[in-house]
């Protein structure tokens, strides 16, 4: 409807301009045929001549010819002008006739016609220019502006603002297109809400599972306490102590899960504090039930940045992997360095292919040697994550067996 109104207004305006120039042209044509016009011009010429204007200037200014009685061809030119039907009036000077003033009526009409055509051409150009602007305005309003609105809408959606509404206007050419985009926004917002609810459900599930784990662990710890009181055999007491220590570790891990309500594994907190380096060999000795773990040398006494619980997990994950995949004895070597302590843990198995070594610490990666073995591919990923959060690092290598070098930074 808006385009129809604009088109009608443009047509009316153009018609008014054309009518104005048509009437103006007709009026001028009537003027050069009216003797009143020539009498006015005669008076103007007489006044100009009295002021001293030259003959050629008078003829150019008033578009006429002056014939003076003193001219040698006066009669010839006068007869020629009369025969051609030109307008001839007497030219008086000092109260006496000094000659004739001749107007070529046909030439005047032609000049005025050319002048009017120039005006009409200018008017048409102005109308075309105006029409072009109106057309551009219509194109911008009906086509470009809706796309600009869609651009701003897409930018907000890209920022994650799914509550940004997309206005829809009546009569918009892209109404269906706009409506589809707004439906897409609603679907994205609904999907985000569903994702949020799913994440909340996962957190609740983890919290419930961690709480349920604490119950059987508490029972294991209670049985261990009873055995420690009643059992007299030293070997059995040592094994009971290991079980109790591991049950305590599981209890603390379950507590972390319960309080953090894990959504991602990165939520696990690592809080390194100053710890004695001599705690590390004991962590290996507690794992001897896995198999043969040989400590090749003593660790240097110093203070290290370490989260004791996370360090126990790191060592447990590496040793467990060695016995599960290699099935050989594990050698441990400590090396005192300027900035910290390096711990090299190495088995004598086949290891992993060289091209897989850089991927061992990636999340969910399982090597080609893991076929048929249970696992989630998170053990070495957690090792790397925990070591980096303890200001240390980890490096995997193969040297007649799979090896891992851990680095802990000195205080």
**pLDDT tens per residue across span 109-164:** 776 677 777 777 777 777 787 877 788 777 777 667 766 776 666 677 676 676 66
- Predicted local confidence at residue 340, as pLDDT: 92
* 18 Cβ contact list (under 8 Å, min separation 6): 120, 123
269-409 has CATH 2.60.120.10 classification: no
Write down the pLDDT at residue 28: 47
pLDDT reported for residue 253: 76
For 62-136, strand residue ranges (E) read 65-68, 87-93, 96-103
- Chain centroid offset of residue 48 CA: 76
Same fold for the pair 171-263 and 269-409: no
Return the CA Rg of the chain: 53
Q: What is the pLDDT of residue 14?
A: 59
Q: Which of these, 101, 78, 98, lies nearest to 89 by C-alpha position?
A: 101
CB neighbour burial string for 27-65, b if at least 16 within 10 angstroms, e if fewer: ebeeebeeeebbeebbeebeeebeeeeeeeebeeebebb
Helical spans, DSSP H, in 261-291:
279-285
At residue 409, the pLDDT reads: 92
Place of tokens 């032609």: 110
- Beta carbons of 178 and 146 less than 8 angstroms apart: yes
* Domains of the chain by residue range: 2-127, 171-263, 269-409
Between strands 330-336 and 340-346, the pairing is: antiparallel
- pLDDT score for 33: 57
Asked if the 171-263 domain carries CATH number 1.20.272, the reply is no
Sites in the chain below the pLDDT cut of 70: 1-34, 108, 111-112, 142-143, 146-147, 150-154, 157, 159-160, 162-182, 200-212, 214-215, 218-219, 255-268, 369-377
Which sign, positive or negative, has the C-alpha torsion 99, 104, 109, 114?
negative
Distance CA 363, CA 378 (A): 6
CA-CA distance, 277 to 343, in Å (whole number)? 11
């Amino acid at each position: 409807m808006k385009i129809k109104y604009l088109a009608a207004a443009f047509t009316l305006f153009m018609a008014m301009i054309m009518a104005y120039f048509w009437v103006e042209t007709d009026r001028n044509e009537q003027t050069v045929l009216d003797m009143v016009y020539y009498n006015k011009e005669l008076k103007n010429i007489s006044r100009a001549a009295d002021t001293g204007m030259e003959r050629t200037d008078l003829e150019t200014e008033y578009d006429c010819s002056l014939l003076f009685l003193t001219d040698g061809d006066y009669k010839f030119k006068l007869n020629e002008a009369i025969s051609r039907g030109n307008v001839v009036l007497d030219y008086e000077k000092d109260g006496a006739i000094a000659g004739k003033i001749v107007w070529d009526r046909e030439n005047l009409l032609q000049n005025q016609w050319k002048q009017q055509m120039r005006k009409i051409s200018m008017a048409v150009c102005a109308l075309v220019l105006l029409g072009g602007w109106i057309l551009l305005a219509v194109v911008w309003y009906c086509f470009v502006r809706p796309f600009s609105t869609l651009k701003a809408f897409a930018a907000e959606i890209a920022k994650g603002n799914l509550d940004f509404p997309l206005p829809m206007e009546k009569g918009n050419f892209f109404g269906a297109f706009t409506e589809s985009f707004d439906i897409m926004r609603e679907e994205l917002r609904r999907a985000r809400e569903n994702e949020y609810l799913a994440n909340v459900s996962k957190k609740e599930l983890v919290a419930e599972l961690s709480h349920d784990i604490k119950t059987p662990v508490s029972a294991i710890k209670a049985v261990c306490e009873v055995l420690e009181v009643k059992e007299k055999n030293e070997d059995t007491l040592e094994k009971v102590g290991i079980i109790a220590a591991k049950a305590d570790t599981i209890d603390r891990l379950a507590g972390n899960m319960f309080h953090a309500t894990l959504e991602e594994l990165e939520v696990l907190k690592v809080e390194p504090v100053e710890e004695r380096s001599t705690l590390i060999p004991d962590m290996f000795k507690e794992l001897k039930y896995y198999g043969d773990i040989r400590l090749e040398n003593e660790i240097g006494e110093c203070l290290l940045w370490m989260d004791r619980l996370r360090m126990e997990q790191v060592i447990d994950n590496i040793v467990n992997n060695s016995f599960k995949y290699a099935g050989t004895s594990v050698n441990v070597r400590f090396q005192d360095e300027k900035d910290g302590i390096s711990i090299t843990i190495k088995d004598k198995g086949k290891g992993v292919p060289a091209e897989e070594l850089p991927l061992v610490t990636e999340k969910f990666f399982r090597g080609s040697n893991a076929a048929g073995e249970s696992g989630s591919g998170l053990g070495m990923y957690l090792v790397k994550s925990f070591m980096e959060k303890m200001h240390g690092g980890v490096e995997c290598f193969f040297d007649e067996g799979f090896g891992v070098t851990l680095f802990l930074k000195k205080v």
